[in-house]
Amino acid sequence: MARSDGSAYFRRSSLFWIVAVTVSMGFYTWTVFWPQQIPYDSLGPLGALSKYLVNEHYSILYKGWWAAWAIHTIEALVALKVCSDKGITSSFTRLLWFSQTVLFGFASLGLLLKYKPDLRTKKQ
């Protein structure tokens, strides 16, 4: 999806990170907002840990959930700045980077940080 000048460079996060972050944040959301519906006994050690955290440290879980989304949002704002710094000017592409980084955090931002635009095209 990249133009030759790099102004529309975009790369999707790997399927591994998409699945890992989606499942993790999904379970975290389920634990924070619907803890009574979780089948703790069916989840083995994860269920035992989750039940302990819900029963003993719920306020930390709740605040941590909001903190996780705040961190992802800050990373997405950083991604917009990095897009500007690297010459990615397409509004749609910048929206893709922002959205992907909000959803998948550093799994997306890391791809953008690794991107090395061709400096020869900027000099012309």
Average pLDDT over the chain, rounded to whole?
92
43 has a pLDDT exceeding 80:
yes
Measured CA to CA in angstroms, residue 73 lies from 39, 43, 53, 96 at distances of 31, 30, 25, 14
Choice among 4-8, 36-40, 86-90, 98-102 with the minimum mean pLDDT: 4-8
pTM of structure: 0.85
Handedness of CA 59, 60, 64, 65 (dihedral sign): negative
Q: Do the beta carbons of residue 82 and residue 112 sit within 8 Å?
A: yes
Q: Residue 65 and residue 108: Cα distance in Å, rounded?
A: 19
